[in-house]
Chains A and B, each alone.
With several copies, the nearest count.
Chain A
Amino acid sequence: MDAHKLKLDFPILQNQPLIYLDTAASSLTPQCVIDTMNEYYTEYPVNVHRGVYQISYKATEKYTQARQTIADFINATFEETVFTRGASSALNLIATSYGLSHVQKDDEIIVSELEHHSHILPWQQVAKKTGAKLIYVPLNKEGRITVENFKRVLTDRTKVVALTYISNVMGYETPLQEIIPLAHQKGAIVSVDAAQAAPHKTIDVKKLNCDFLAFSGHKMFGPTGIGVLYGKQKLLDSIEPIEYGGDMNDNVELFDAVWKDTPYKFETGTPPIAEAIGLAEAVRYLQKLKPEAILAHEQKLKELAVKALLKLDGVTVYNPTSETGIINFNLDDVHPHDAVSFFDEDHIAMRAGHHCAQLIIKWLKVPATLRASFYAYNTEEDVKTFTDAVKKARDFFTSVGF
């Protein structure tokens, strides 16, 4: 993978000097995805389904193919692939539809302090509403979920295991391949937050054998406004929709109605058409680059960067061993919001805060952190600019009295 050549695919990297290290929040958008959505808006910008005229037929075909492309991408079927507003919406659908109807008082739901708010709060609500218990896998001293620790909290009462595939703060990968069969032995279902996995890993839901899985378009070269829920067919068949209305029903009577089959029963109203078509193009782009190659590339960059950072005094890296392109760190005694302005001046875009994952920030016992995340379009020069900037920032903040 030639990251220098890749940069040419991203208009924003042509338009301005920018070292973009915030892909874990949103990836940049390649021209091909923009073009694909423009094609929709300029050549067939109409609604799908029920339109028997040609451009509506075309929109329906493109939209249908988009779902198949995305289903194939994770080795799911068309029926198992539901479009949502984003990963958050998909994760909520699982908790609200499956969770509220299957979890009972004193049942246990296993979660972790590595979860993004969008995977912890829906289950916190299920626990509150049903009287079930939220059980946290103890993290090891690096902050990881381990199989050993998972075994310590798994019981006959475990009904749901809701874990992230890759942490958006620590960049750790959860050993799901071992955890999922253990959970299944106890009869629990496993919900996987793959928002940080889909951009960097080939996800095979059949091999993983997870029950539900969710991810977002905007983190994997795709547009905003779309996400994906995967669910095993028999689970999706057995659970109820949580939104009702146009396009998700067959027959509507005054006091009753019948739903369509999955995936349609979960998708009321006009779908995110341009977004689905754009996401399919993003998937093709991602597949062309190969997720494994991207991951290897970003890991290499991350390791270079960590090595440089560890040499600096007054800089703390919280996840030096992470296996993805995320570095979570701080300049000692400098609030991350102060620090991030320094990087911004050097056109380095990074995130400061709790990254919608306050539990792990609290676990780290800091008020907030800086996060740099590398992706396919970052280069070794970017790493150098970044680590040089950290050094300069360290010196600067010390000099002004922090």
Chain B
Amino acid sequence: MHQLENLYRQIIMDHYKNPRHKGLTDDKNYFTHHIKNPSCGDDITIQTRIENQTIKDVRHDGSGCSICCSSASVLASLMIGKDIDHAEKLTLNYLSMIMNRPFDEDLDLDDAMAYQGVKQFPARIKCATIAWKAFENTIKEWSESHE
């Protein structure tokens, strides 16, 4: 079996081929965060609406490889409806998992667990984290504006 099968799991391919919550909005109530990866050309925008400490909606768009694009779709699917503190925990947990650092296996990352294989491909870690980092920045921005 080719190593790469650990990377291209069915769930990932499904989100890649059929992205959920894709397409941006002009609605000013969304936080918008954009990250480019100068080293490989990936370019992702994440938009988030937060109300009453709850993630009401997440939108995404951009260009990149399957790992990058699918992870934005997975992120959106996972986060919508989550309490913001929980969303932050999930995000940090996901980032730790990808970067091969200790993480809490009991926190339910749902489809995002499929990206566990990425840590074997250091050159692709950025692909799998770019959308999540944009989302992390969103939470930071929200927190700072609510201190």
Interface: B96 (CB within 8 A): no
Partner of A49 from B5, B13, B38, B124 at Cβ < 8 Å = B38
Contact, CB under 8 Å: B65 / A335: yes
Interface: B52 (CB within 8 A): no
Interface: A344 (CB within 8 A): yes
Contact, CB under 8 Å: B41 / A402: no
Interface: B107 (CB within 8 A): no
Interface: B122 (CB within 8 A): yes
Contact, CB under 8 Å: A341 / B7: yes
> Which residues in chain A, 30-55, are within 8 Å of chain B measured between CB atoms?
48-54
Contact, CB under 8 Å: A52 / B124: yes
Known: A52-B123, A337-B64, A341-B7. A353 touches B2 (CB 8 A): no
Chain B residue at smallest Cβ distance from A264: B38
Classify chain A: how many residues form its interface, as a range: 20 to 34
Contact, CB under 8 Å: A345 / B39: no
List A contacts of B5 (CB < 8 A). Answer: 396, 400
Contact, CB under 8 Å: A353 / B65: no
Interface: A390 (CB within 8 A): no
Contact, CB under 8 Å: A341 / B123: yes
Interface: A67 (CB within 8 A): no
List B contacts of A337 (CB < 8 A). Answer: 40-42, 64-65, 67-68, 124, 127
List B contacts of A52 (CB < 8 A). Answer: 40, 123-124
Interface: B116 (CB within 8 A): no
Partner of A50 from B41, B63, B122 at Cβ < 8 Å = B41
List A contacts of B127 (CB < 8 A). Answer: 337
Partner of A335 from B13, B36, B66, B121 at Cβ < 8 Å = B66
Contact, CB under 8 Å: A338 / B123: no
Interface: B10 (CB within 8 A): yes
Interface: B145 (CB within 8 A): no
Contact, CB under 8 Å: A49 / B65: no
> Which residues in chain B, 7-44, are within 8 Å of chain A measured between CB atoms?
7-8, 10, 13-14, 17, 36, 38-42
Q: Determine the distance from Cα of A352 to Cα of B66 in the docked complex, in whole angstroms.
A: 14
Q: Scoring B residues 44 to 72 as 1 if CB is less than 8 Å from chain A, else 0, what string do you get?
A: 00000000000000000001111110000
Shortest beta-carbon distance, A48 to chain B, in Å? 8
Partner of B64 from A53, A250, A335 at Cβ < 8 Å = A335
Interface: A17 (CB within 8 A): no
Chain B residue at smallest Cβ distance from A339: B65
Contact, CB under 8 Å: B38 / A402: no
Interface: A392 (CB within 8 A): yes
Q: Determine the distance from Cα of A250 to Cα of B40 in the docked complex, in whole angstroms.
A: 11
Shortest beta-carbon distance, A78 to chain B, in Å? 12
Known: A345-B4, A401-B10. A353 touches B67 (CB 8 A): no
Shortest beta-carbon distance, B102 to chain A, in Å? 21
Shortest beta-carbon distance, B111 to chain A, in Å? 15
Q: Can you list 29 pairs linking A and B with CB atoms under 8 Å apart?
A: A49-B38, A49-B40, A50-B39, A52-B123, A53-B123, A54-B122, A57-B122, A264-B38, A335-B66, A336-B65, A337-B40, A337-B64, A337-B124, A337-B127, A338-B8, A338-B67, A341-B123, A341-B124, A342-B4, A345-B3, A352-B40, A354-B41, A367-B63, A368-B41, A396-B2, A397-B8, A400-B5, A400-B8, A402-B13
